Structure 1
Amino acid sequence: MVSEIPPPDGTESEWTIVGERIRVARESSGISVRELARRIGVSPSHVSNVERGLASFSVRALYSVVSHLDISMDSLFEDAKWGASHENSPQLEVVPDAPQPQRTRLDESGIVLRKGDRPTIHLGSRRWERLTSSSPLRE
């Protein structure tokens, strides 16, 4: 289940950014590598490799990580610059679709993301779409 993902062209790997965010959240929660590994059902070395950007978690393990660290999935991937140069990296894209329905105030406020406007992440054979805006609601 370990995916080796080398950084492209000597640049920092996107998974390194995600791994660093997991490490910071884990440390701020006071959870050891061994304890997080036990909670999510993987080896401590796998957690360490993910935190260093040398491996990635499965979708199931990612959901377990964010649940145990009490963080959002968006916080891991937000602003990470996924490049098309690596086949193993999730590809962020806006998927074009059929004509959009009439826009409403909720669309304009950013509360609703219509299908054609949603950022997507491709992980393996699955596609995950963000359904809501990542920005907090403001009055």
Structure 2
Amino acid sequence: MKKLLILPLIALFVISCSNERKALKEKHDEVLQEVFDAHDVAMPKMGEINTLLKQLEEKIDSTSESENYIKAQKELQAAHKHMMTWMQDFSSKFPDVNKIENLDLEELRQRTDSLINEKPAVEDMRDHVLRSISRAKEILNN
């Protein structure tokens, strides 16, 4: 009789774990996509940063207006470095970001939490890149 009770409990446990894993995997994939989306906004802007840096360099001379160009240049360089640093950090934190099949439930939970914690960093980097480009364009157009 006890054996008959144990089998349904085991089945219920397996189904419960399976549902939790599925929900956690979906959350992981959703957050990972959000991280990639923020990166994918900033990454194509690297060429634009280089172009703006050259344009600013051409404007720099010994006049007092050069100070604004130099500030914009430094901000663009900092944004470029921010992007490169973020990518390097992300690669070291998540070397196998897409390989989650072999993770147990707790490892998957930790990975998902880590990605959630990574989101503000990538959004900050994206915003830094976009803000520096906007400011450089504004200075060049004045």
Name the TM-score, length of structure 2 as normaliser: 0.26
Higher strand share: 1
Larger RCO, structure (CA 8 Å, separation 6 or more) = 2
Select the structure of larger CA radius of gyration: 2
Normalized per residue, the structure richer in helix is: 2
